[in-house]
Structure formats: structure tokens, C-alpha cells
Amino acid sequence: MTLTNNPPATKPTLTQRGSSALGDRIFSWWTLGTGLLVLAILGLILITTVREAWPAFDAMGLRFITERVWDPNPATGDAIFGALSFAYGTAVSSLIALLFAVPVSVGIALFLTELAPRRLRGPAVTVIDLLAAVPSVVFGLWGILVVAPALVPIYQWMHDVFGGIPLLGRLFGPVGSGRNFMTAGLILAIMVTPIITSITREVFSTVPRADKDAALALGATRWEMIRGAVFPHSFGGVVGAVMLGLGRAMGETIAVALVIGGATNITANLFSPGNSMAAVIVQQFGESTGTFTAALIGLGVVLFAMTVLINVLAQVVVRRAEARMKGSVA
């Protein structure tokens, strides 16, 4: 047997160590700069929009948020700009979208990661990604031409069945046209489902295989394995996916503008027409001037503030829920 003498490993020279440290510092500065750049852009957007919207804020004061009337061209008196009706429409349509989209998206993600045959996963993922690439105006036109008329008989049936029940009767009230809160929420649900599904699928795929196998080896059923190993590990990521879908739903313009009805309205009736902040901006911005334009920009500021507030609250909920779930699993 012959022995080979391996040469001893050479230590990096001072020049090599210096260049490596310099590269690390450059990379650290670059990442810090890009992170600060994102915050600076968000800050500039907030500052410029608040400055442009200030005439409306100054004229209305706190009533800009609490007033439900929106009348930019009154017959007598000063114009009234109240964002409450549009904030209500944004919230209602977005919540309807999440109510339908989240269970479907989580179910699709679980199917693709846990149950689907390997030969089916690729085509299914491709179809979902293609659905996310469809322009929003296509969804809006499809909603106003096909979905809204087709849903009117269903809405009428729901009103006939639930209209006599005290609480449900207010939610499923009289039906006008198919352009209403419910139709807008359903269209938004279809639009945000690919986003939530794609992110949730990626989150589920990061669950360690050993955790799943350990749960199954202990006699857990597949559902018990998902509940005990998959959900606790991926809860924060799933909530993040839902928040991204909520942001898309709250900021959607053309599709919602076409199907929500365009009425300044606060009502519990989901079959009543309404409006959202993003939709009213795109509907009225072209004909606005002066304080009217400032009020529309102010709607954008309120929408931005709502989005930030919801994300902050979601992070608090995620931290507490993750701590509770990990504690229960342990």
C-alpha cells in the first residue's frame, strides 16, 4: 500500500483576508442601502400624497374619515368629501374575497404538496400561475357581462330563503342588479386565489420531511399530521400570503369599478350596490379639479393607512398565535 503525502492546506494570506473582509463590508452596505431605499420610497410616497391631499384634509378635518356623504358638486353650499362609505365598501368586498379565497387557496396548496400525484403538480401549478397573470380588466369585463347576470337568480333565491330571518335577512336583502358588494367580492376572490395559493404552497413545501414522517410514524392520520406538523410550522407564512391577497383585494381598481355598482352607500345588504376607495379614484379622477382632486388623493392616503394598520395588527396576531401553537404542540 502506497501512502500519498497530501500537501498541507495553505492559510489565506493577509491580502486575501483583506479582500474578503472588504467584500463583506460592501455587501453589508449594499443590503443596508437597498433596505433603507425601500423605506425612503414609502416615506416619500406618504409625504407627497399627504401634501397633495392636504386641501381636502384641511377643508373637511376629521369629517373626511367619519363622513359618509360624498358630494363634490352640490347644488348649494360647499362640497362634501367623506371617505367612510368607500372605506366600508373596500372592507366589505375584501372580506368577502378572503372568506371565499382563503379556504380554497389553502385546500389547493395542501392538495398540491401532500396529495397530488407528481405528474399532476406541474400542470396544476402552471394553470394557477397563468390565472394570476390575467389582467384585471378581463376579470372585470367577465364579471359585468357574464357573472353578474348569472348570479341574479341565485341572489334572489338566497333572499327568498333567508330574507325572513332577522340577521340573515339584513345581509341577504332585496336584489337589484348583479353589480353589488357580493359580486365584487367574488371577482376579487378569483383574482387573489392564485396569489394566496402560490405563496401558501411554497410555505407548505418548507415543512421538514422528518417532522411529517415522525408524526405518521407515531400513528397520526394524514389530517392529524397536517394539523400537528404542517400548520404550526407554516402559520406565519400562510398569514403573510393572506395579507398579500388582502392588499391586492383592497387596492384593486378596474375590476371592482366595473362590478361593484358605483353607489355611495353603507348598508348591511350584500346585494346592494356600493363603491370602494380604489374604484372611486379611477372613476372620478379624470373629471376632478382643485379640492376634488385633493380629496381623491386623500382616499389613497386613507387606503395606504388602512393597509399599514392591517399588516401591523396581522403581525401581532401571528406572533401570539405562533407562540400559542408551538406551546400546545410542545
Residue 246 has pLDDT above 70, yes or no: yes
Say what the pLDDT of residue 97 is.
94
Cβ atoms 210, 238 nearer than 8 A: no
Say what the pLDDT of residue 1 is.
47
Q: What are phi and psi of 135, to 5 degrees?
A: -60, 150
* Residue 308 pLDDT class (50, 70, 90 cuts): confident
Residue 8 has pLDDT above 90, yes or no: no
Residue 238, number of CB atoms within 10 A of its CB? 21
Q: How many helices (H) and strands (E) does the chain have?
A: 14, 2
Say what the pLDDT of residue 327 is.
60
User: Average pLDDT in the 268-295 region?
Assistant: 90
* Residue 187 pLDDT class (50, 70, 90 cuts): very high
Per DSSP, 274 falls in state: B
Give me the torsion for CA of 266, 270, 276, 280, rounded to 10°: -80
pLDDT in tens, 212-237: 888 888 888 888 888 888 888 888 88
* Residue 175 pLDDT class (50, 70, 90 cuts): confident
* Residue 70: all three cell numbers together: 360624498
Out of 1.10.3720.10, 3.40.190.10, 3.90.1150.10, 3.90.79.10, which CATH number does the structure's domain 86-326 have? 1.10.3720.10
User: What does the alpha-carbon distance between residue 301 and residue 50 come to, in Å, rounded to a whole number?
Assistant: 7
Q: Where are the domains of the chain?
A: 86-326
From 48, 59, 86, select the one nearest 280 (Cα to Cα): 86
* Residue 180: all three cell numbers together: 353589488
Give the highest mean pLDDT range of 18-22, 74-78, 89-93, 121-125.
89-93
Residue 80's DSSP bridge partners are 71
Least confident of 71-85, 170-184, 242-256, 309-323: 309-323
Q: Per 3-state DSSP, what percentage of the chain is helix, strand, and coil (rounded to 5)?
A: 75, 0, 20
Residue 80 has pLDDT above 60, yes or no: yes
Tell the burial category of 148 from Cβ atoms under 10 Å away from its Cβ (0-12, 13-18, 19+).
buried
Q: Is 262 left (phi over 0), alpha (psi -120 to 50) or beta?
A: left
Say what the pLDDT of residue 285 is.
87
